[in-house]
Structure formats: structure tokens, C-alpha cells
Amino acid sequence: MALSPDKMSGLQKAAVVLACMGEQFTAEMFKKMEQDEIKRVGVVMSNLDQVDNTVQEVLLKEFLEALKSEIGPMISGDMTARRALALALGEEAAAGLLEELRKAKEPVPFERVKNVDSKTLAGFIKSEHPQTIAVILSHLPQAKAAEVLSEFPENLKYDVVIRVSNLDVIPPGIVEEIDAVLNREMLSTEGMEAKQLGGVEAVAELMNNVDKATEEVIFTRLEEDDPELAEQIRQLMFVFEDLINVDDRGIRSLLKEVRNEDLTVALKTASEGLRTKVLSNVSERAAAMIQEDLEVMGPVRLSEVEQSQQKIIQIARRLEKEGKIVIGGKGGEDMLV
């Protein structure tokens, strides 16, 4: 029966690692061990069945992580581990494993900010320069950034959105300075490599996640100051009504993952064209039930309708990323060739 790493004892894991590292390495390890330890490990090694390559890789990675966090008395330093891994796996495979581990250990900028309550975070950073706020929001998930943005005063919302749209490559030094302030006063984060942040696409994604009131405030100002930018953002935004541009096959794929309750509420404010599109892609029985539910449904809060529509939009975006549907949307009529 194949061994599973999460069900193996410490002795079994040690036996597999030593077997992977080879006779010379194992001999050196045995020199550092007590006789009783050698005996117990040796018995387990002698009883090992064939171990799958994937299991070997998992255990070697686990061994290396433990080694790098707390180097024990058996191995004298990181270079010894590197040489041992190279002997066991070959130079290329060992280098790949070490690089994968190095990346996994790199700090993620503003990682702890993501877990801070949006209102609390907004109150903490709203006194910062809008450019600084733009950098912080650009590192957050779009939904989180939208929540924080919604908590700002109207003028600040606008200023931040403009700066997010103009962000490009951020030098590491600037991010490090912002990190240092948050580290002292609220969080504990470290610097990062320069990366592409912001831009018009980022603003469109941000606007897709804010509430309607915030969206209207920002677009009202933006259309006065920079109507061209406003139009660019609108064309990149994807709203519920844009589902009418998805082909029938894509609509059917989408509806398979949407709850009937969410679909019915979402269609409450939908255009007749979109309703027809949706109902024509479900069974006659399902269409009749949805139509009946819509007719007998009483008043529904607009926020509830928007929430249901947003759920469906998020599913549509995920399916598009997975290549299962194509979203044309505004300005997307010539995407298919």
C-alpha cells in the first residue's frame, strides 16, 4: 500500500529521506546518532516499500524547511544540505526545489493589512497622501480595496482613484517606506520587488466592486474632469447587464453554478432582453418557475438585488479566467475572431 506523507510517522519520514539521500549521506548521519536511534531507523528503512516520487519530493521539502528554520546538530549548515540535495536529486532538481522554497518564504507585502477590518484600515490610512493610499489599495484584493475606498470622504475617493489609474512601476524604496510606517504603527510587513500596479484596468476592477453610490460619485466627477478616462474605465467594467453579450453556451455554463434564489433576485431589475436570454437557456419548467417567482415577488431592497447580481458576476469572471465562457461586455464586440 502506498505511503501518504500525512500518515507517516517521524521514523518513516526519516527513513525515506535517508534512503533518498544515498549511502554516503546516511553513513554520515549514522555517525551522529545513538546506537538505539540507528537501530530503529534501520529497521524502518529495511521494511520500506517502494516510495512514490511525489512522496519523496514532499518529504525532502519538509526536511529542508525544517533544516532552514532550525539547523540541528546532525548537519553543519545550509551548504551541506544543498550539496546533499544535489547528490540525491541532481543539480537541476535540487536548484528547483531550493528556489521554490525560497519564494515560499519571501514576505508578501501588506499581507496582514488584508485581515484588518476595512473601516478600521480606512480610518488609519485616510490621513495619508492619496498617492500612498493608492499604493496600499493596489496591493489589496479588489473587493477589499473597494470596501476601504467606500469608507473615505467623497473628495478622497476621487483623488485615490485618479492616482490608482496613473500608477505604474513602483520602486522598491517607496514601498519599503510605506511598509515601515505600517510596521511601526499597525502592522509588520516587509519590502517587495518593484511590480506593475494600478492602471485603468485596476480602476475598472475596483469600480466593479464598490457600491452604486460610490460609483456614481466617482463617475460624476470623473466625467467632468476627464471624460476620456471615464469612458475607458466604463468600457473595461463588467456589469450584470453585460451577460446579454455572453453566448448561449456560456450562459448555460454559468447558470449551472448559480443558485436559483440568487438568479431570481438578480433578474428583478434586469432588462427584458437579459431576462429572455436567461430564461431561454434553462428548461421550460425552470423558466416557468422563475417567471412565476418574479411575478409574485414583493418589493426587494436594491442592495439585495445588487448583491445577488454581484455573486453571479464573480462566478462569470471565474469561468472566464478558466476559459469556460467568453465575456464580451462593453467594447468587447470584436474579441472573437
pLDDT at residue number 256? 92
* pLDDT confidence of residue 191: 35
Q: With bands split at pLDDT 50, 70 and 90, how would you rate the model's confidence at 330?
A: very low
In this prediction, residue 156 carries a pLDDT of 92
**What is 240-321's CATH topology?**
Annexin V; domain 1 (1.10.220)
Q: Residue 69's pLDDT is what?
A: 54
Q: What's the pLDDT at 108?
A: 63
**Higher-confidence position of 258 and 9:** 258
- Of 144 and 80, which is predicted with more confidence? 144
DSSP bridge partners of 111: none
SS3 label, residue 142: helix
Confidence band (pLDDT; 50, 70, 90) for 107? low
Phi, psi of 175 (to 5 degrees): -65, -40
Give the residue-averaged pLDDT of 6-25: 77
Residue 38's pLDDT band (cuts 50, 70, 90): confident
pLDDT at site 250: 92
Q: Where are the alpha helices (DSSP H) in 151-299?
A: 154-166, 172-185, 200-209, 212-225, 227-236, 248-255, 260-266, 272-279, 284-296
What is the mean pLDDT of the segment spanning 157-169?
88
Q: Give residue 89's pLDDT.
A: 59
pLDDT of residue 275: 92
The pLDDT-based confidence of 77 (bands split at 50, 70, 90) is very low
- What does the pLDDT read at residue 325? 87
Give residue 190's pLDDT: 40
Average pLDDT (231-260) is 88
Q: What percent of the chain has pLDDT over 70?
A: 75
- What is the per-residue pLDDT for 49? 67
Tell whether the model's pLDDT for residue 255 goes beyond 80.
yes
Distance CA 219, CA 223 (A): 6
**pLDDT reported for residue 87:** 60
- Give the mean pLDDT of the chain: 77
Fold (topology level) of 112-236: Annexin V; domain 1 (1.10.220)
Model confidence at 86, in pLDDT bands (50, 70, 90)? low
Question: What is residue 57's predicted lDDT score, i.e. its pLDDT?
Answer: 77
Region 32-60: what's the mean pLDDT?
A: 74
DSSP single-letter state for residue 33 = S
How many residues in total does the chain contain?
337
- When pLDDT is cut at 50, 70 and 90, the band that residue 161 belongs to is very high
pLDDT at position 283 over 80:
yes
More confident residue, 87 or 321: 321
pLDDT band at 193 (very low <50, low <70, confident <90, very high): very low
Q: Do domains 112-236 and 240-321 have the same CATH topology?
A: yes
| Rounded Cα gap, residues 120 and 299, in angstroms | 34
Domain locations in the chain? 5-105, 112-236, 240-321
* pTM score above 0.75: no
State the cell numbers at 224.
467632468
